[in-house]
Structure 1
Amino acid sequence: MIKAVIFDLDGTLLDRDNSLKKMLLSQYYAITALQKIDFSIYSERFIELDQRGYVWKDIVYQQLINEYQLDITRDELLADYLERFEHHCISFNGMHELLNEIRSKNIKLGVITNGYSEFQRSNIRGLGITDYFDVIIVSEEEQIKKPEMEIFKRALHRLQVTANEAIYVGDHPQKDVEGCITAGMIGIWKEDLYYTKPEVSCHTINELSEVTDIINDLNRNFCTSTNARRLTNPLLQ
């Protein structure tokens, strides 16, 4: 039976692309020094340098300052980013409904996310979902990150479930899907056209609401196989 569902954050629960665009618009009109260039130029170049969050913002901002000779410091822009992003977090459709549905089934919930602790936890607050989770694991705190097997094992230990009782949902084929499957978990890839399909066998979804169907199917199959074993083994009857 499925006893826990663990999620990635960016690109899975948090619609980071649209959250970032919303934050950049707010930042641009709040900081006069940025208005030296057109917003479209600022936004497009930021997103290009950001590489979907895999380049930290001190590097991104310094490059923007250098390229466009902006009269502001990297640290000022970074501080604004860290304070502002939380207030512009957008979830993917159906997130709250899914989390409520899983909770109603008495299934535990967790998050494993790579990144800086304070920033990632502020984004979870920004989505308004902190209280849903039994466990929140951030790579900076753990000093390990996905796809290392140990970070998944720590989540399982803290949730007090075995690997085959847990589902992990993420958008990155290697860091999320292959990582969790290596740890023995059931992997769900939240399809993202930016990435190629995972090489390992896994479930695939386009919308968060589809996770419920997978949970139901897995639990139904578990019950069917358990009943079959009971019928064929007198000691289990």
Structure 2
Amino acid sequence: MSILLLRIAKYKAIFFDFDYTLGNRDVYAYQLYLRAVNENSSIDDPVLKEAIVQDCMIWDQKGNENKYYVQDLLKKRYGIDLQYDDFSVWWDDHLWEYAVAYDDAYDTVSKLKEKGYLIGMLSNGTSEGQRLKLKHAGLDELFDAIAVSQDIGFKKPDVRLFQHAMDLLNVRPEESVMVGDIYGRDIIGAYRAGMRPVWFCVEPNMPHHADITVIHALSELLKYF
């Protein structure tokens, strides 16, 4: 048996993060910030409006910044006072409505499933919101299990969330692969849990030195699994 076949036979399950791994969060975050600006201001100038939304995307830090920070800067910089009871809750309640997958996500996951892999999602976020994103992006039918941090009260990189996901599919760490974009959450968490981590890094020239599999498009997974 070839080395490639041995590697394929070793793994039983592949887990995916959602935002910036399966889902193109830049697209749906942009749409929701645009909606927030439209609902809370009377700005007609398209160039100014675009500048505001682009600033929101910068302040958002790819979802890693507190939404109240963005809300505060909108008011200070542009005088836009968001009239929501709780902007963070409003954001979580509506982001899924704009969720879209990367162009190669469905095809890649479908082919992995055809090869016999169990497919799981392992994500931080609200239980309902993350599941709705997966469904709205048209990927839910491909998944055998979904593990979200709110389900059990632990967030990545806590190994307990990774173990919970593996338990759902009845697989061991050495039989499991984790694909994600945030090194300090997805990769280190999977590594500590004993899984094989795969770093989805969209920047082709990003320097790195650890001996971790790196892909720049989801379709590259098919070279390894």
Aligned to 2:41: 33
Offset of residue 137 of structure 1 = 1.2
Q: Partners of 1:173 and 1:71 in 2: how far apart?
A: 34
| TM-score normalized with structure 1 length | 0.79
Q: Secondary structure at the match of 1:35?
A: coil
**Residue of 118, 130, 137 corresponding to 2:147:** 137
Q: Partners of 2:204 and 2:220 in 1: how far apart?
A: 20
Q: Partners of 1:25 and 1:14 in 2: how far apart?
A: 18
- 1:121-169 CA-to-partner distances (Å, cap 9, x unmatched) read 2222221222221211111222111111111111111110111111110
Q: Amino acid of the residue matched to residue 110 of structure 2? A: N
- 1:66-105 CA-to-partner distances (Å, cap 9, x unmatched) read 4322254243765664454323222112100011112212
User: 1:65 and 1:195, CA in 2 relative to 1: closer, same or farther beyond 3 A?
Assistant: farther
User: 1:201 and 1:193, CA in 2 relative to 1: closer, same or farther beyond 3 A?
Assistant: same
Q: Secondary structure at the match of 1:75?
A: coil
Q: Amino acid of the residue matched to residue 33 of structure 1? A: S
Indicate the structure (1 or 2) with the bigger Cα radius of gyration. Answer: 1
Q: Secondary structure at the match of 1:169?
A: strand
Q: Where does the alignment leave 5 or more consecutive residues of structure 2 unmatched? A: 1-9
Q: Partners of 1:34 and 1:149 in 2: how far apart?
A: 47
**Residue of 187, 190, 193 corresponding to 1:183:** 193
* Larger CA deviation: 139-148 vs 84-93: 84-93
- Root-mean-square deviation (CA, aligned residues, Å) is 2.5
Aligned to 2:170: 160
Give the conservation status (yes or no) of the 8 Å contact 2:156–2:185: yes
Q: Where does the alignment leave 5 or more consecutive residues of structure 1 unmatched? A: 216-237
Q: Partners of 1:210 and 1:139 in 2: how far apart?
A: 27
* Larger CA deviation: 200-209 vs 78-87: 78-87
Q: Partners of 1:61 and 1:144 in 2: how far apart?
A: 26
Aligned to 1:205: 215
Q: Amino acid of the residue matched to residue 51 of structure 2? A: I
Q: Partners of 1:115 and 1:206 in 2: how far apart?
A: 24
**Residue of 21, 24, 38 corresponding to 1:15:** 24
Q: Partners of 2:83 and 2:67 in 1: how far apart?
A: 12
Percent identity, aligned pairs only? 25
User: 1:35 and 1:77, CA in 2 relative to 1: closer, same or farther beyond 3 A?
Assistant: farther
Give the conservation status (yes or no) of the 8 Å contact 1:36–1:70: no
Aligned to 1:86: 96
